[in-house]
Amino acid sequence: MTASEKPAPHPLFKLATELGPLVIFFGANAKFGLFVATGAFMVAIVAAIIASYVVSRHVPLMAIVTAVIVLVFGGLTLFFHDETFIKLKPTIIYALFAAALGIGLLLGRSFIAIMFDQMFNLTPVGWRLLTIRWMVFFAGMAVLNEIIWRTQSTDFWVSFKAFGVIPITAVFAMAQTSLIKRYSIAPATDEASDLERGDITKG
């Protein structure tokens, strides 16, 4: 099945699979505490991945990586009954994404197309600039998560994770629109691989 043949999920469905697990995490924490919330979050994120695949026959790599880390650190949280693991999870995810983008730059590739499942195409300069921006953003979010969970209450951290991270990310993503438009070239085709679209070695 080519990219053009993949069923396009309704925007509300996509929003539900992205926000649903976080809302469940927040609600369960408010009523039952962090450990029950962690278990509920693990179940919800697996359900979201399955639902996404059933509807669109495709799951973005970023979502898969996030789900794996949630299951690993959520499992450690429940096994050791230590909330530190689940609080470290966002830091690990952001640091991994930042590192992956940095490694891609060193290899002359932008991994943005793979990580975010994007369909646009940019000039080499555009890919490079967009990758650097997202790399810095992820590194900053890793630091921010560390500051919040180490200095604030668990309830505040959960609230920030559920209702702060997505708006911050959305605002940052929208702020990249002008860069994408400025360096956008011919639309990516099904024949072009993600790595070909992310080539930053030319120009």
Q: Grade residue 77 by pLDDT with cuts at 50, 70 and 90.
A: very high
Q: What Å distances lie between residue 58 and 6, 12, 53, CA to CA? A: 8, 17, 5
Domain boundary assignment for the chain: 10-79, 82-188+196-202
Average pLDDT for 152-159: 96
Torsion of CA 108, 111, 70, 1, to 10 degrees: -140
Give tens-digit pLDDT for 95-143. 999 999 999 999 988 888 777 666 678 888 999 999 999 999 999 999 9
pLDDT for 86 beyond 60 = yes
pTM: 0.83
Q: How many CA atoms lie within 13 A of 169 on its CB side?
A: 17
Q: Average pLDDT over the chain, rounded to whole?
A: 86
The predicted pLDDT at position 97 comes to 94
Looking at per-residue pLDDT, the higher value among 199 and 84 belongs to: 84
The predicted pLDDT at position 9 comes to 64
Q: Which residues contact 82 (CB under 8 A, 6 or more apart)?
A: 76
199 strand-pairing partners: 109
The predicted pLDDT at position 2 comes to 44
Which residue type occupies 64?
A: I
Share of the chain above pLDDT 90, in %: 63
Average pLDDT for 59-84: 93
Average pLDDT for 163-178: 93
Q: Grade residue 150 by pLDDT with cuts at 50, 70 and 90.
A: very high
Give tens-digit pLDDT for 7-21. 566 667 777 788 899
Average pLDDT for 59-76: 91
Q: Grade residue 62 by pLDDT with cuts at 50, 70 and 90.
A: confident
Helices (H), the chain: 11-32, 34-56, 61-80, 84-106, 112-116, 124-151, 154-163, 165-175, 177-183, 194-197
pLDDT for 175 beyond 90 = yes
